[in-house]
Amino acid sequence: MVGPKTELEAKFRARYPAAPPPRFFRAPGRINLIGDHTDYNEGLVMPMAIESACYVGVADNGLDAFRVFSEDMQDGVEFRIADLDAAKPRRNWTDYVIGVAAELKRAGVPLKGRDLLIESTIPVGAGLSSSAALEVASTLAMLGGSRMEPLEVVHLCQRAENDFVGVPCGIMDQFTSVFGRAGVAIKLDCRSLEYEPVPLPRKVAIVAVNSMVKHELGASVYRERVNECKAVLQAITEKHPEVTSLRDVTADMLAEGYNWVPVKRARHVVSENMRVQAFANACRAGSIQSMGVYFTQSHRSLQHDYEVSCPEIDFLVDSALTQNGCFGARLTGGGFGGCTVNLLNRDAVPDFRTRIREAYRYSYGIDPQVLLCEPGNGASMLA
């Protein structure tokens, strides 16, 4: 855990004793309330930024290189600015940092040699966007206070992840890390990038339960799903040339009888977009029961139509749904492990925590992390 800024400052001093006084940047993780696997299909999502965040301390080093150290990984990397154009991924955490540095350079941002110290409170592999937070915090640190439009930061980080890290992710995680706002979830249209703040009913608590598993399969299935969505889109476009993304696809079009697995994937995307809309309306109306129903329907769709769940996550969802004060539960993020997100009555949180831990420990022998999530602000420099 990162304590106050002074604690990180002490670690920075210890690692880089000759450095001038550092500046500190923070970029949060996110939890997605509803709308998964819709972002790369120009669909709707409704995430919120969380308190857990990635922190980066940074100071000029007078060299023409970046020196980067991660307190969490106890591992570092050094790379020259001149070598960035030819940089190759190393297939570990450093790719997120080198990737954004390479993108900054490509975007024509003048880069200075700097020392970076990274420490994060976001659990890795939990589906809470620790990597997007690392990208955003590193970008701000490397900009070192120079101005870049927030939306440009988002696009730059997404490009780094798509092109350098090699994950064909959508825009949701980076967007939320930059644009999150305390007290509200963000309903984002991933086509127009218009977004609206949606306050959650006071009575409701958002709780993440970390299954503590991350199945290897996840990354390759993510790619496979992106490709299946492309394939079904192409088939639909042949009949309906006005369709340019799954966002334009209707349930009627899907009912036209493509007897083919990718149609199930598209059915998830089409129905999930409708659920995001309905969930946001229910949220504004304070209809907690309905919010819960959309939550759980979303999980079933990810489980059966999109097929990105796993036994541990299904267990956590089913077990949550039997508990008092739980209105709905679903997997959140890419799937194949990570967290479930649970919609609870605030008063029910302590009992829920105890029971879900007992149940999961009993069946899987694993102690899950249970995190109460409050909607937090997006990335910033620390004063």
Cβ 223 to ligand GLA shortest distance, Å: 11
- The reply to whether 169 sits near ligand GLA by the rule CB under 6 A is yes
Number of residues that bind ligand GLA (CB under 6 A): 10
Cα-to-chain-centroid distance, residue 142: 21
Q: Which of 24, 40, 55, 295 binds ligand GLA (CB under 6 A)?
A: 40
Q: Is 25 in the site for ligand GLA (CB under 6 A)?
A: no
Would you say the C-alpha torsion 148, 150, 151, 155 has a positive or negative sign? positive
Please identify, using beta-carbon distances, which residue of 28 and 333 lies nearer to ligand GLA: 333
- CB 343, CB 326: distance < 8 Å: yes
Determine the Cα–Cα distance for residues 38 and 271; give it in Å rounded to an integer: 10
* Mask for 319-358, x = binds ligand GLA (CB under 6 A): --------------xx------------------------
Report if residue 42 touches ligand GLA, rule: CB under 6 A: no
Which of these segments, 2-10, 36-44, 77-85, 142-150, binds ligand GLA (CB under 6 A)?
Answer: 36-44
d(CA 126, CA 212): 7
Of 36, 115, 119, 312, the residue at the interface with ligand GLA (CB under 6 A) is 36
Query: For 251-297, what is the HEC assignment?
Result: HHHHCCCCCCHHHHHHHHHHHHHHHHHHHHHHHHHCCHHHHHHHHHH
274-279's contacts with Cβ under 8 Å and 24+ in sequence apart are 275/34, 275/35, 275/301, 276/34, 276/35, 276/38, 276/43, 276/44, 276/45, 276/46, 276/187, 277/44, 279/33, 279/34, 279/46
The residue from 102, 172, 263, 266 that contacts ligand GLA (CB under 6 A) is 172
Q: How far apart are the first and last CA of the chain?
A: 19
CB of 190 to ligand GLA, least distance (A): 9
Q: Pick one of 115, 119, 135, 173: the residue that binds ligand GLA (CB under 6 A).
A: 173
Tokens of 379: 């990335």
173 as an active site residue: the answer is yes
**Residue closer to ligand GLA (CB basis): 173 or 305:** 173
Catalytic residue of the set 95, 173, 314, 367: 173
In this chain, which of 39, 115, 135, 272 binds ligand GLA, going by CB under 6 A? 39
Distance CA 221, CA 223 (A): 5
Which residues are known to be catalytic? 173
Q: Which residues of the chain form contacts with ligand GLA (CB under 6 A)?
A: 36-37, 39-40, 169-170, 172-173, 333-334
